[in-house]
């Protein structure tokens, strides 16, 4: 059972992500039916550790504290080469079957240690492409809040560290203990969705040869657009249009169109109080049920949940 937790403090550590691990594992909640962990903060060189905000934290324990830890956690930090002693602590923890948790950019330390090779992982959506490029041995999922792969847990940006940490508590101590912690933290014990719903929708990209037809697609999202219609506007055969569209736009016409419909629906949900059926019709999904299906598939959340999270609320 999970009893001993060691949190590593690294140069450039992000205070919020550091605090998330402290909040979940560092507080004795046994008085309200929650768990109490043996919690230690350690660093390679005891003494002041500079944070990402420019102030120092004084850490008194060295890395030997992690030698028998049931969980070694590493929060967000400056993405730069790690102290080899820290990397070895991570390798040793993984080798003996302990939990290893990273929050946000902490995944880069796990990747540098080699323990993400052959595993799925995630990190903040701003860094997922870099993680995948620099460490091709790991399969990076940019859409989820966290990934568990054989006791190695990587979380996405910032607050998703709460979700990942509570997941570990749930696996080791059960739902009741997790609910105690979540209630004290005033957070849901288990969140739905993924980090893709937090990514700012980018303006649709198109190369010059498809700019006109792409804009026409955006202007007619409510219509049932077919490959034949689109190819005629591009003055190509359907087969040639589909092949060149994929080559130049990086995806199929149907997938590109579906993504633009989701982006447009997000905008309506954020900025208007229109009904789900109305938005579904306006954006070309046809029905609220179909729109819900695509939201769940792409954003891992429902249109109603997305509106609750991001819809504009009038001041009272």
pLDDT (mean) for 129-152? 94
pTM score > 0.75 for this model? no
pLDDT in tens, 61-102: 999 999 999 999 999 999 999 999 999 999 999 999 999 999
pLDDT at 213: 83
pLDDT, residue 193, reads: 61
pLDDT (tens digit, 9 = 90+) per residue, 146-160? Answer: 999 999 999 998 889
Whether the per-residue pLDDT at 248 is higher than 90: the answer is no
Q: Would you state the pLDDT for residue 199? A: 54
Q: Residue 181 has which token pair?
A: 């912690």
82 contact partners, CB below 8 Å, separation of at least 6: 10, 109, 112, 113
Contact in structure between 93 and 146 (CB atoms under 8 Å):
no
- pLDDT of 69: 98
Residue 179 has pLDDT above 90, yes or no: no
Which residue is associated with the tokens 């979700």? 163
Domains, the chain, in order of start with CATH, read 4-196 (3.40.50.880), 208-310 (1.10.10.60)
Q: Report the pLDDT value the prediction gives residue 192, as an integer from 0 to 100.
A: 61
At residue 53's C-alpha, the angle toward residues 157 and 310, to 5°, is 35
Of the two residues 54 and 210, the one the predictor is more confident about is: 54
* Per-residue pLDDT at 198 exceeds 70: no
> Regarding predicted confidence, which is higher, 40 or 144?
40
The answer to whether the CB of 295 falls within 8 A of the CB of 301 is yes
- Output 68 or 190, whichever has higher pLDDT: 68
- Region for 123 from its dihedrals, namely left if φ exceeds 0, alpha if ψ lies in -120 to 50, beta otherwise: beta
* Average pLDDT over all residues of the chain: 89
Q: Which residue, 18, 24, 316, 292, is CA-closest to 170?
A: 24
Average pLDDT over residues 291-299: 90
């Amino acid at each position: 059972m999970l009893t001993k937790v060691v949190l590593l403090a690294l140069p450039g550590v992000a205070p919020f992500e550091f605090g998330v691990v402290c909040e979940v594992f560092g507080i004795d909640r046994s008085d309200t039916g929650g768990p109490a962990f043996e919690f230690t903060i350690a660093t390679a060189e005891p003494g002041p550790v500079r944070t990402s905000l420019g102030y120092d934290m004084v850490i008194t324990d060295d890395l030997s504290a992690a030698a028998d830890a049931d969980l070694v956690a590493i929060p967000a930090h400056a993405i730069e080469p790690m102290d080899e002693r820290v990397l070895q602590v991570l390798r040793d923890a993984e080798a003996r079957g302990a939990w290893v948790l990273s929050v946000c950019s902490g995944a880069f330390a796990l990747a540098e240690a080699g323990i993400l090779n052959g595993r799925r992982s995630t990190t903040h959506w701003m860094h997922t492409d870099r993680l995948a490029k620099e460490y091709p041995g790991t399969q990076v999922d940019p859409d989820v809040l966290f990934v568990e792969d054989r006791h190695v847990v990587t979380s996405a940006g910032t607050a998703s560290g709460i979700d990942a940490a509570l997941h570990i508590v749930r696996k080791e101590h059960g739902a009741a203990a997790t609910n105690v912690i979540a209630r004290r933290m005033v957070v849901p014990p288990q969140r739905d969705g993924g980090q893709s719903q937090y990514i700012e929708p980018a303006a649709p990209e198109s190369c010059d040869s498809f700019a006109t037809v792409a804009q026409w697609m955006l202007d007619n999202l409510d219509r049932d657009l077919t490959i034949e219609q689109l190819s005629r506007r591009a003055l190509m055969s359907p087969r040639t249009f589909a092949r060149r569209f994929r080559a130049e736009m990086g995806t199929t016409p149907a997938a590109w169109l579906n993504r633009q419909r989701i982006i447009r629906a997000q905008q309506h949900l954020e900025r208007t109080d229109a009904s789900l059926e109305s938005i579904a019709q306006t954006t070309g999904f046809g029905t609220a049920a179909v729109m819900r299906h695509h939201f769940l598939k792409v954003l891992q959340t429902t249109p109603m949940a997305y509106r609750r999270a991001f819809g504009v609320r009038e001041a009272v």
